[in-house]
Chain A
């Protein structure tokens, strides 16, 4: 049930990270296409539910069609791994 909050946190971070990337690269436009997160089996997160919430939150926003890639993490890890951006 808390996966909506987690998904929303990921989107906030993607926006921040994209802005950081742009300002570090002479303000060239860039759009986030894929975000990778690591989730451990003890993190208390259901990856399927998170993917579902993520898709629902992205739909209809400027971030669409942002993709979420979930990688297995250690123990209770719930961390970002990477962000993929493309220059339009």
Chain B
């Protein structure tokens, strides 16, 4: 029996593709973020409010991932910015090659900001680097404060946690401070914004975070 050391990441192929994307984003000055959250956590709604708030001259584009249907792309296309749907046909996450394929034909030099809305899932997308500057996790107040402890991976890897649907706080037994403390117990430096895409409360904090990070550069 011989034991040989084996090096490298298990998801080596995805890592390579993601490194290629990251290099391309950097070369063209594209600030890309990867939005991750459970189905129904409000990813599409947040992007709707975000695009709605942007000046039409803003050079922003969106990739939205789902297992089936182009319903999300249809929702997001109304705002006049380039939007493409990635249908994974069963896969529970986006990978870097899917993103690469979806970007084909787009002139990255004409895009400053790219939102990638991952498939609704708090677990699987965590493992797949898409070449983004930051992962952002969404946690809606209808999900429970313990989610960061149950699914620590995504909270550990995200720069920002967006607590969504805070307009529902009076109606659900959710303690936002506890949810935040749980997230910080996993990732002490995680930044947090609270918002509602329905009432638009807190939306400014989200928009400012994106602008500040985009201004800080795609390598931030």
Contact = CB atoms under 8 A, between A and B. Distances in A.
Contacts of A51: none
Interface size class of B (residues with CB under 8 A): 20 to 34
B95 to A, nearest CB: 8
Mostly, the B contact residues are mixed
Interface residues of A, number: 32
A76 B10 contact: no
B6 A83 contact: yes
Nearest to B1: A86
A76 B1 contact: no
Interface in B76-96: 91-93
Interface stretch (B40-48, B100-108, B149-157): B149-157
The A interface is mostly helix, strand or loop, or mixed, namely mixed
Interface in A1-31: 1-2, 5-6, 9-10, 12-13, 17, 21, 30
A41 B11 contact: no
Interface in B131-180: 151-154, 156-157
A82 B27 CA distance: 36
